C-alpha cells in the first residue's frame, strides 16, 4: 500500500461543485492519498496520523493544486506532422487532403512513439486523463499500439477505435487506400472492447467506439457502431459540424443538418460526445441538451483551421455537457491543456464581442460590454476538469474530494509568469497569466511529473526518435 502527502498547499481549487462560485478553494490545505484515492483533504492540522509516515511527501507551500485536467479529443499520431508547410494555411478539408497521404504511411512504431510524445506534452501541462481518436490503420497499425504507449508513460486513457470506410471513389474525403472494410472495423472494435475496456471505478484504460466523421463513414457503420457500443456499455465519439464545409456536406449528401443526421442514426445520448460542434445551430443545441449529449470544445484547432467559434456559452446555459480538447497535434499544433483552457476563455470573449449591440431597458450594450462575462477563468477550468470528466462518463475524476481518484496537477506560484498575479488570485492567474508547465502531475496516486520532469520515460531519446520518424514519414510520402 503506497501513500502520498501533499502538504501545506498555498491554494487547493477543488472544483467540487458545478457552480464555480460554490466550489471550495482552500488555503494552507493538505491532501493525503492512499494507493490511488484521496482519503483526506483539508487543514494540515487535522491530518490523520498515518499521513506523518507517508511514502512520498510534496511540500506544496508555493503551489496551486487543481484536479488533473481532462482532454476529451486528440489525434496523437499527428504530432509527427506538425507545421507541415503545405497545409499551414489550409482550412479543414484542404488540410485533411494534404495530410492523408502522409498518415497513410504510418507504422506501429510511429504510432507508439508519437502517442508517448503527445502524452508527455499533456502530462507536463497538468493533464492526467486523455482520450485519443485514432482512425487510420495502415501498415499493421493497431489501437493496441496506443494503449501500450499509454500504459508505459502512466496516463489515464480513453482509447477510441476510430475508422474510415468511405473513400473518394464513394464520395468520401479520404483516399481509398486509407479506408477499411466495415465488417473488419466492427470485428476489431469488438475485440478491443473485450480485451481492454475496464468499466470499474478508477479504471486506467477504457475503449470508445468512434467512426471518424460524416464525410468518411457510411450511415450503416454509424448505426452498427452505436448498436455495438450500447451492447457493451461503452461510449460513442465522432467529429461533427466542424466548419461550413462540414455543414454543407451534410446538407448536400444527407439533406439535413449535422444534428439531425446524428439524431436519425441514434447518435444522441448521455453516452455520446462529439468533437467541435462549431456550427451547431439552436435546434442542435436543444437536441444535445435534451439528450445530455456531450461536446469536446477544441478552441486552438478551431482557430488554427479558421473553422469558427463554437457557441460554448449557449451550450452550457442550455445544459449541454462540454469538455475541452486539444485536438490533433497537426491542427493545434500543441498539446498544452492549460493553454487550451486559456484559449477557451479568450475565444469565448472574442466571440461575444463580435455580436451586434443589444438594447436593454433603453440602454445600448455593445459586444465588448458583455464579452468579459461570457467566460471566467474558473468557468474555463471547470470545463477542463469536471466538464471533461462528465463528457467521458467518469464520476471518479475531474474534481477533488475524499474518495476521488488521486489525479492532481500542482503549479509553482512563485515563478516569473505568476509575479504580481498569484498574490491576488492564484486560481484566476492560472489562466489570465502566461500558461505554465506543471511542477507536479499525479495520476492515480503516482507522481509522473516531478519538479517539471517526466519520471516514467526518458524524454530526450524519445523526442530524438520522434523527430527522426517525422522526417522519415515526410520522406516516404514524397
Of all residues in the chain, the percent with pLDDT exceeding 90 is 95
Please report the pLDDT score of residue 478 as a whole number.
52
Beta bridge partners of 250: none
What does the DSSP 8-state code read for residue 68? P
Q: Decide if pLDDT at 216 tops 80.
A: yes
Q: Report angle CA 301, 305, 311 to the nearest 5 degrees.
A: 60
Instruction: Name the band, by pLDDT with cuts 50, 70 and 90, for residue 335.
Output: very high
pTM for the model: 0.97
What does the DSSP 8-state code read for residue 95? H
Q: What is the 3-state secondary structure (H, E, C) of 432-473?
A: HCCCCCCCEEEECCEEEEECCEECCCCHHHHHHHHHHHHHHH
**Grid cell in block for residue 271:** 453516452
Beta bridge partners of 29: 9, 43
Cα separation of 142 and 470, whole Å? 19
Instruction: Name the band, by pLDDT with cuts 50, 70 and 90, for residue 394.
Output: very high
Q: Decide if pLDDT at 330 tops 90.
A: no
**Grid cell in block for residue 228:** 455495438
Name the pairing type of β-strands 156-163 and 205-211: parallel
180 in Cβ contact with 163 (< 8 Å): yes
What does the DSSP 8-state code read for residue 20? G
230 in Cβ contact with 223 (< 8 Å): no
Instruction: Name the band, by pLDDT with cuts 50, 70 and 90, for residue 402.
Output: very high
Average of pLDDT values for 266-273?
98
* pLDDT tens column, 144-154: 999 999 999 99
* pLDDT tens column, 71-124: 999 999 999 999 999 999 999 999 999 999 999 999 999 999 999 999 999 999
Average of pLDDT values for 21-47?
96
Q: Decide if pLDDT at 165 tops 80.
A: yes
Domains and CATH numbers, the chain: 3-67+389-454 (2.30.40.10)
Please report the pLDDT score of residue 477 as a whole number.
57
Q: Decide if pLDDT at 445 tops 60.
A: yes
Mean per-residue pLDDT of the chain: 96
Q: Decide if pLDDT at 16 tops 70.
A: yes
Please report the pLDDT score of residue 2 as a whole number.
93
Q: What is the 3-state secondary structure (H, E, C) of 205-224?
A: EEEEEEECCCCCCCHHHHHH
DSSP state letters, 355-423:
SPPEEETTEEE-HHHHGGGT--HHHHHHIIIIIHHHHTT-SSSSS--TTSB--EEEEETTSGGGTTTTT
Cα separation of 267 and 260, whole Å? 10
Cα separation of 326 and 166, whole Å? 26
Cα separation of 73 and 2, whole Å? 32
Rounded CA Rg of the chain:
22
Please report the pLDDT score of residue 20 as a whole number.
94
Amino acid at each position: 500500500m503506497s501513500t502520498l502527502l501533499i502538504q501545506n498547499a498555498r491554494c487547493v481549487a477543488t472544483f467540487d461543485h458545478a457552480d464555480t462560485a460554490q466550489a471550495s478553494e482552500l488555503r494552507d490545505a493538505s491532501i493525503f492519498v492512499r494507493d490511488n484515492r484521496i482519503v483526506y483533504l483539508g487543514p494540515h492540522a487535522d491530518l490523520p496520523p498515518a499521513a506523518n509516515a507517508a511514502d512520498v511527501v510534496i511540500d506544496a507551500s508555493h503551489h496551486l493544486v487543481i484536479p488533473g485536467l481532462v482532454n476529451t479529443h486528440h489525434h496523437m499520431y499527428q504530432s509527427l506532422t506538425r507545421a507541415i508547410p503545405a497545409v499551414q494555411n489550409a482550412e479543414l478539408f484542404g488540410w485533411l487532403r494534404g495530410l492523408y497521404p502522409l498518415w497513410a504511411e504510418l507504422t506501429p512504431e510511429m504510432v507508439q512513439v508519437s502517442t508517448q510524445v503527445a502524452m508527455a506534452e499533456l502530462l507536463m501541462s497538468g493533464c492526467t486523463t486523455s482520450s485519443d481518436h485514432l482512425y487510420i490503420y495502415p501498415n499493421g497499425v493497431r489501437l493496441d499500439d496506443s494503449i501500450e504507449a499509454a500504459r508505459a508513460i502512466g496516463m489515464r486513457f480513453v482509447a477510441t477505435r476510430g475508422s474510415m470506410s468511405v473513400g473518394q471513389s464513394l464520395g468520401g474525403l479520404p483516399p481509398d487506400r486509407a479506408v477499411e472494410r466495415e465488417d473488419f472495423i466492427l470485428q476489431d472494435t469488438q475485440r478491443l472492447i473485450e480485451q481492454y475496456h475496464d468499466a470499474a471505478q478508477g479504471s486506467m484504460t477504457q475503449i470508445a467506439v468512434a467512426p471518424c466523421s460524416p464525410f468518411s463513414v457510411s450511415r450503416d457503420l454509424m448505426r452498427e457502431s452505436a448498436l455495438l457500443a450500447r451492447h457493451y456499455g461503452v461510449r460513442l465519439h465522432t467529429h461533427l459540424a466542424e466548419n461550413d464545409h462540414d455543414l454543407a456536406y451534410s446538407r448536400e449528401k444527407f439533406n439535413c443538418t449535422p444534428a439531425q443526421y446524428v439524431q436519425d442514426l441514434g447518435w444522441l445520448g448521455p453516452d455520446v460526445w462529439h468533437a467541435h460542434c462549431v456550427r451547431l445551430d439552436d435546434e442542435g443545441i436543444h437536441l444535445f441538451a435534451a439528450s445530455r449529449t456531450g461536446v469536446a470544445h477544441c478552441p486552438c484547432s478551431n482557430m488554427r483551421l479558421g473553422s469558427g467559434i463554437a457557441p460554448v456559452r449557449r451550450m452550457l446555459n442550455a445544459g449541454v455537457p462540454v469538455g475541452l480538447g486539444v485536438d490533433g497535434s497537426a491542427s493545434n499544433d500543441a498539446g498544452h491543456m492549460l493553454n487550451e483552457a486559456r484559449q477557451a476563455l479568450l475565444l469565448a470573449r472574442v466571440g461575444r464581442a463580435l455580436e451586434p449591440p443589444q438594447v436593454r431597458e433603453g440602454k445600448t450594450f455593445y459586444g465588448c460590454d458583455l464579452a468579459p462575462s461570457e467566460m471566467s477563468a474558473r468557468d474555463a477550468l471547470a470545463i477542463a476538469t469536471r466538464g471533461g470528466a462528465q463528457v467521458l462518463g467518469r464520476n471518479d475524476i475531474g474534481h477533488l474530494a475524499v474518495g476521488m481518484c488521486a489525479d492532481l496537477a500542482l503549479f509553482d506560484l512563485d515563478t516569473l509568469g505568476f509575479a504580481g498575479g498569484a498574490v491576488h488570485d492564484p486560481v484566476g492567474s492560472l489562466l489570465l497569466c502566461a500558461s505554465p508547465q506543471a511542477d507536479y502531475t499525479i495520476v492515480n496516486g503516482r507522481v509522473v511529473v516531478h519538479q517539471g520532469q517526466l519520471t516514467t520515460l526518458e524524454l530526450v531519446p524519445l523526442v530524438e526518435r520522434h523527430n527522426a520518424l517525422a522526417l522519415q514519414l515526410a520522406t516516404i510520402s514524397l
